[in-house]
Structure 1
Amino acid sequence: MARFRQLQKEVEERRALAVIQPTEPNVRRYMELEAKVVHNASRFADVAQRIAWSHPELDPATQGRPVNATALEVFEQARIRERNAVLAQVAREHVLMFFFRGDCGYCHAMAPVLRAFCDRHGMRLVPISVDGGALAGFPQARSDNGAVRALKVQQVPALFLAQPFSGRIEPVGFGVLSEAQLGERIVALFEGRDGKGTPPPVYWGDQR
């Protein structure tokens, strides 16, 4: 470590001198030392790469998200299967509460995306009109019965994941979301429950 710190100090000193007094000898001395450092760093990288090739537990390419195109495709397909399995589990005990306004353009844009997502994953959807207005594709939408106040809904479209038998309700998101975003957020909520950093849920009837 002492040699490393000494080398760092020498590089900084030579560079400072070359910048302050850019004579040919000063600049050349700095460039010579810099070339030596770059050469050593290159040798280090080569050795580290060879070690990684023979020890997969140390190879970043085999840990987490792959960088190879073929491996990445396999990785993404596996993630989709895992996500769909979790969503199927969520759908058995949960519903999605969709708050909208009849005059909200974003709500109209979100509606078909949400409908397609719920149809794809077999999830029950409970559309709730905040202003009593209608939304295409949701003829059986409910009028607000106090849920807006209880859940402090201040912006639409708003989506909540609810577990009817427990009364547990958690926000999924606000604004227009894609199917991929919906899936990722719902899975994250379900898998992260009661975990560190998970926002506390709201329970139906809780007016705090």
Structure 2
Amino acid sequence: MKRLILTLALPTFAVAQEASTPANPYWSDSWRGWHFYEAPASPPPVRKEAEAKRTPELQALERLQEEAKRTRAIAVMNPTVDHVRRYMEVERQIAELASAFSEVARRVAWTHPYLDPTLSGRPANAKALQVFEQQEQQDRARIVSTLAGTHVLFFFFRGDCPYCHAFAPTVAAFEKRFGLKVVPVSLDGGALPDFRTPRGDNGIARTLKVSQVPAVFLAQPFTGQIAPIGVGVLSESQLLERIAVLSGANPEVTQATTLTALPEAP
């Protein structure tokens, strides 16, 4: 009988012992030893509100922008006299601030030339613009004259094309002035007064996807590289500008093509 009572009591004692055992008993981390002190984890630093970090000017601007957005929405959805007037007052306040900023920016640009946008790039002053264009024209002419030793200009045309007849004198004059050799290529076998002995099309027009004439391409025979300059009737200044600009550009940008066979002379 005593043995039965002891047997029944053992499970109860085990359950009570398990309930009283802490979640992390000391023997599971005996490496700490009996006498240890572990400081509690420090709480994460309290971040200051973003509002406190922003400058008063930034806060004022954000409030003004929010007010403009709010009053505009109200005025649009309920356009009463008071609502529209309030929105216009906020807009006027913003315009006055922008005007004051613009005035100060002008003065800063005057006293700090490196910040003056009118002194870099294309001038705004008429006299300065004239000098700028003259210098630009001279630089472009020098570039094209340098290209004359290594490049040629392919001129695609048709003998029955009135635009080709109108453009041909400009191309011929361009060749004489800058020394850039022009290679005339006739797509229909016809000739032009300024180019009486053109070369025939050997398939180069299809390779370059020439679908309209007149068309001009800049080519470097030594490498076979050829890039489009323009289609249609162009002025001499347009030819000069495009050749000078495109000659220094990336071939991928100018859609340059490498040719293996150039048109043969007649």
For normalisation by structure 2, the TM-score amounts to 0.70
Distance 1:97 1:31, change over 3 A: closer
Aligned to 2:223: 166
RMSD: 2.2
Aligned to 1:110: 167
Distance 1:135 1:15, change over 3 A: same
* 4+ residue segments displaced more than 6 Å: none
Structure 1: runs of 5 or more not aligned = none
Higher relative contact order (CA 8 A, sep 6+): 1
Summarize the alignment of residues 139-154 of structure 1 with structure 2, pairs less than 5 Å apart: 139-154=196-211
Q: Contact 2:223–2:258 (CA<8 Å) still a contact in 1? A: no
Aligned to 1:61: 118
Aligned to 1:95: 152
Q: Whose Rg is larger?
A: 2
Give yes or no for the alignment of 1:71 onto 2:128.
yes
Structure 2: runs of 5 or more not aligned = 1-57
Whole-Å Cα distance in 1 between the matches of residues 260 and 173 of structure 2?
27
Q: Contact 1:95–1:124 (CA<8 Å) still a contact in 2? A: yes
1:76: how far off? 0.8
**SS of the residue 2:114 aligns to:** helix
Q: Contact 1:169–1:204 (CA<8 Å) still a contact in 2? A: no
Distance 1:45 1:131, change over 3 A: same
The worse-fitting range, judged by mean Cα deviation, of 28-37 and 118-127 is 28-37
1:27: how far off? 4.2
Aligned length: 205
Aligned to 2:258: 202
Whole-Å Cα distance in 1 between the matches of residues 170 and 156 of structure 2?
14
Distance 1:29 1:2, change over 3 A: same
Give yes or no for the alignment of 1:176 onto 2:233.
yes
Distance 1:137 1:46, change over 3 A: same
Percent of matched pairs sharing the same residue: 51
